[in-house]
Amino acid sequence: MSERAALSGLSALVTGGGSGIGLGCARRLVVDGAAVTICGRSDERLQSAAEELAKASAGAGGSAPVAWVAADVTEEEQVGTAIARAATNGGGRLDAVVACAGGSLHMGPLVVSDTTSWRATVDLNITGTFLTIKHAAPVMVRGGGGSIVAISSIAAPLTHRYLGAYSVSKAAVDMLVRVAADELGPSNVRVNAVRPGLVDTEMVSSITSTPAVLEDYLDQMPIRRVGTVDDIAAAVRYLVGPESSWVTGQCFGVDGGHALRRGPDYTPFAEPLWGPDVLRGLLPET
């Protein structure tokens, strides 16, 4: 069975699908025959991405339906709207969801962290993924089952100093995936996560353009290269497709082996901003 035949007739939603890893995952699914709906917060970016996906489908000899809808995954009503739009685009079905919307609005030592940016990061990564699962699962159950794939991070199992909110929230995503898989398995809804390492996207351009930090990343990778969105999309494609029908509750590292070693050292970013004393928790007395 060809990959295109394997995904033909499937309906998928990709959150955060307007750029980066989300767009890469959407492209892989639509090229392999799935009807894909993408959502994100920027109308302009989503429209451009949807046009790109339609061209990719046509270039692969297909005509899978592509749709987009603006939605903030931290807003429950908007998540519900995105799920409904994806089901409509898929002829009333929703077979797969890639919960990719996420990121970090926080950086800095814990002792000087801004509570607002901490909460915003946790809300985006944890609550956004939770709401996506909450609203997608009942639609999948009514259709006989499906696959949900959350995009976690290497920051879930490995500490990332000065990215505490991101690390903690991605670790929570992994546990959320396991709980959801346990609850929804009896209804044939599978829930898994992919943990990307350092992937070449616009979001990490400051890392890849900072030699000291980039070299430290590479030094922790047995397969010493920066990943691509296609590396992640291939893992997502497996977890969405029928080849993984007996796989649930798993967190797959796609990171060049980075998780075998330690997390990255962001000191070259952080020390010029806060100084060595603050990095180790020493604050001036007030």
Q: Give the C-alpha distances (Å, rounded to integers) separating 33 from 8, 28, 97, 237.
A: 4, 9, 15, 11
- Domains defined along the chain, listed by start: 3-203+226-263 (3.40.50.720)
pLDDT greater at residue 209 or residue 264? 264
What's the CA gap between 198 and 204, in Å, rounded? 8
How many CB atoms neighbour CB 244 within 10 A? 18
pTM above 0.95, yes or no: yes
How many CB atoms neighbour CB 185 within 10 A? 14
Confidence grade of residue 1 (pLDDT, cut at 50, 70, 90): very low
What's the CA gap between 172 and 185, in Å, rounded? 20
pLDDT of residue 75: 98
Catalytic residues: 166
What sign for the dihedral angle of Cα 191, 30, 4, 196? negative
36 pLDDT exceeds 60?
A: yes
Summarised one tens digit per residue, pLDDT across range 202-248 is 888 888 888 999 999 999 999 999 999 999 999 999 999 999 999 99
The residue type found at 73 is V
